[in-house]
Structure 1
Amino acid sequence: MTTPVTAIQSVRLDDNNDILVLLDQTLLPNEKVFLQLSTLEDIWEAIYHLKVRGAPAIGIAAAYGIYLSVKRSNAASYAELADQFRKAKQYLASSRPTAVNLFWALQRMEDRLHQEADQSVAVIKQALKEEADNIRAEDEKVCLAIGEHALSLLEPGWGLLTHCNAGTIATAKYGTALAPIYLGQERNYQFSVYADETRPLLQGARLTAWELQEAGVDVTLICDNMASIVMKEGKVQAVLVGCDRVAANGDTANKIGTSGLAVLAKHYGIPFYVCAPLSTIDQGCTSGADIPIELRSKEEISTQWYEKPMAPQGVKIYNPAFDVTDHHLITAIITEKGIAYAPFDESLSRLLQKEN
């Protein structure tokens, strides 16, 4: 019997063998390979090279990764263990600068470390495993709640457009932007989904289209620059995207190309919804101008996906992995605790207080 897409665990801990098991997203849709990673260096490399990607999945991988590094420690005291933890945390944090869930998960693990300061080293290690397990379990509940809130804004039979991949393999389960689509599929909403291919790494073509097709959803793959025509032709009634970081004012950072979709949606009068766990809200960022944007290698554009170079040798290449969507272009930000509308600085703050 085929395993349902939503049952795939893209990130899980094999504690008995001291390994982190990751679905290698760079090989999809042609190969479904689960990596077995044991070292902090291997986990850093998997995050940096997008073998694991999606803000929640990155956070889960980082939490388990730092737990495994601590588990293998020979530290005899809390102070010694804490020093090793801080070095591992700093190292993992350098892998992806834009995804706030990475830092949120690592900080949560460090907070738990401090809470257990008066315990034995063995108890501290077990507490860190428990915290990482909690992060994963909570993300599954968060995604389901986001899906329910988002689905309340959608109508059966609608055409939906999404960008990049914010589905099951980017999270613990269900996804964020794809969660309402999966719930709608279960409830016979009969959505038609348009998935942007999402240049230059093609997460929409390789991952979203694969996920939705596997789930039996009516999905059509389009090139990024086809979004305008499908909107103009009336095929899209809502845009759903995920998010890697939300600033205090509601500006959001997501995969490059998202802000252009928001501009198009505004032009055509189509609601633009950002699906974002509260953990992606960074109140330390006043606006999108404060969000660091990761710049990636030129090979991703010029040579990585081609048998022969697709750009002239020596040409300058600019390859930002993310862009920032201005809060004025966003209809609503959908979280696990409810739906935030403008003014977002107030509505997001209320939701965060509700969380606490």
Structure 2
Amino acid sequence: MSLVMTSPPAAEPVTVADIKAHLRIDDSDEDILLASLLLTSRMHIETALSLALITQSWTLRLDRWPRGRSLELPLAPLRAVDEVRVKDASGAANVVSAESYLVDLAARPARLVWNNVVPPAPQVPAGGIEIDLSAGFGADGESVPAPLKHAILNHGVGTAIRMLQQSVGVTVDGEIGPETLGAIGARNVVDLIEVYADIRRARYRALPHFWRFGRGWLKRVDATLALGKSWAATDGIIRGLMEPAQNAKGETTMSDTSTTVTTDDSAKWWAQSKTLWGTVITAAATVLPLLAPTIGVSLPADVIQTFGDQAITAAQAVTGLIGTALAIYGRFTASSVLSIRKS
């Protein structure tokens, strides 16, 4: 079974203005980054709860029909089954008459129930059944329940910040301020990354599905830890990144610059920026899975069957959260401006 998004939501449940108010951010310098963090947070909540917050369209692909008269549909709240198709021996998808089945929207989860008929059998070995679904609370954020919007603010971006605060031993309140910045600047970067990885491992072990997916989750933590250490070694940042006076104010040395591109020999090459790489990782984890089906790229059915669609989706969400944490950490520990590398 695989679930592929065919039409993404037209809006986010929470706006950039909402998160700026939540984090007490007054300027617009980080609006693009915040927008990517919101996308990651929303997808994390949707994955964890099997929900579609804003109206969106998906195609459910099956190899064969399950036994019995009904099929449970994996998205909630389901709005409609738009079309059911079954492939013949030539691979052509034939539309199944809507009179052949009923859609039980009141059930949890929603079900497709056959109306006293035998469901047509697909004539191809894999992916022979396609069901187009529409799900979501509504077309905009006003339709999304308030507790879910609070979860996006506090579980996604807030979780990354709180874990970082826990790593440096300051008050865990989900807000970046002078205390947090000062503690970050005073820490050895490699040590800080190792502590953060330990907190991440403990978080995974506390999840109810750790027995099933935990080995893969921990491998990703180890891989991310190794990559973070290599970046720290490349940057040569094995000490605090901010001067004591700046730590007290919660500022970085970037405040004296007026541009983000320079050819100064003391500046940092753009490819060494943790903020940039964190944003790229976040975008890759969240945007590529949505765009890949539109250009004809999708995971083989045997891979999905082996690892499970939910595990693959969870891996995308975890990668996005790691990218988010790296981008936040890089943003608040930057000590030099970016430059274009000289040849």
State the TM-score, normalized to the length of structure 2. Answer: 0.24
Report which structure shows greater RCO (CA 8 Å, sep ≥6). 2
Structure having the higher helix fraction is: 2
**TM-score in terms of structure 1 length:** 0.23
Q: Which has the larger radius of gyration?
A: 2
